[in-house]
């Protein structure tokens, strides 16, 4: 049985840190699930790290549905949260509910995530009223990067910090089961966390959040650039490049395939074939 959203409230009350990670396909979701990750996010960051887009704003609902389906097939225990992509919830709450429903009904997600605070609180309330759990997202919101003036830490000024606190309270009141805090000063994230009954999940927001989330490709060393907030636990870029280079070298040197990797055929069949005899008898 999959982890339920109530599990994360229990973990917050118990002071148990919540490890979360992104995944975008079947094999990585299967590995994350086997590692005991309780929450897997199918992030719209797939646009940057998997699909080669310049930003998350290029990701479509069809992209999110297809990748969420793959992750759901790979993970049997984790709660699967699917990002609502740019313009899938900003037009009006009716369209937001419809798109959230598509991610649950068609893609198999257990919950959805959307960015913003007070401006989307009514939308969050509508989606949760429809029976779909919502994970909020405050601080650096990548879908608004053009408005924010780039990928910058948020909440450093008094107005920004106060707005973050207010937005968090509004999301909790609207029914969000948790909030991602991205690129927020650690002390501010701690204040937000302490003021909420629901858990916070940090990414570049310090140790004081109830949980942490990272992009899988950053953790595995598959990204071209590792952001400051990430820790690289492996260097798969180097390992994969070495493996492919070795494979190509073996092919060019006729060292692969060998008899070990080939299939045999009955000698009598080969004799008939080589003698020109018909095999249709």
What are the catalytic residues? 182
Question: DSSP characters for 224-267?
Answer: SS--TT------HHHHHHHHHHHHHHHHHTT-SS-GGGS----H
- Using the 8-state DSSP alphabet, how is residue 58 labeled? G
Contacts of 75 (CB under 8 A, 6+ apart): 23, 29, 30, 32, 33, 40
The two three-digit tokens of residue 250, written as one number: 């073996």
Please say whether the dihedral angle defined by the alpha carbons of residues 158, 163, 164 and 166, taken in this order, is positive or negative: positive
Q: Which of 211, 206, 227, 197 is nearest to 45 (CA)?
A: 227
Give the residue among 251, 218, 252 at the shortest CA–CA distance from 235. 218
């Amino acid at each position: 049985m999959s982890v339920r959203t109530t599990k994360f409230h229990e973990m917050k009350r118990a002071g148990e840190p919540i490890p979360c990670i992104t995944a975008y396909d079947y094999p990585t979701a299967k590995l994350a699930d086997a590692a005991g990750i309780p929450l897997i996010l199918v992030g719209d960051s797939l646009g940057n790290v998997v699909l080669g887009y310049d930003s998350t704003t290029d990701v479509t609902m069809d992209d999110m549905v297809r990748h969420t389906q793959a992750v759901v097939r790979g993970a049997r225990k984790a709660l699967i949260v699917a990002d609502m992509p740019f313009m899938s919830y900003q037009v009006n709450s009716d369209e937001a509910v419809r798109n959230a429903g598509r991610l649950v009904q068609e893609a198999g997600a257990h919950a959805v995530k959307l960015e913003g605070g007070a401006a989307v609180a009514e939308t969050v309330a509508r989606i949760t009223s429809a029976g779909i759990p919502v994970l909020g997202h405050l601080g650096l919101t990548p879908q608004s990067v053009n408005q924010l003036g780039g990928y910058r830490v948020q909440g450093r000024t008094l107005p920004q910090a106060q707005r973050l606190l207010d937005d968090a309270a509004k999301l909790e009141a609207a029914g969000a089961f948790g909030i991602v805090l991205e690129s927020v000063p650690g002390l501010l994230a701690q204040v937000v966390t302490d003021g909420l009954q629901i858990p916070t999940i940090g990414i570049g927001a310090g140790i004081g959040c109830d949980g942490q989330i990272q992009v899988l490709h950053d953790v595995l060393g598959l990204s071209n650039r590792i952001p400051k907030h990430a820790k690289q636990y492996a260097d798969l870029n180097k390992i994969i490049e070495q493996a492919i280079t070795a494979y190509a070298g073996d092919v060019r040197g006729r060292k692969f395939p060998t008899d070990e990797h080939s299939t045999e055929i009955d000698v009598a069949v080969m004799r008939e074939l080589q003698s020109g005899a018909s095999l249709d008898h």
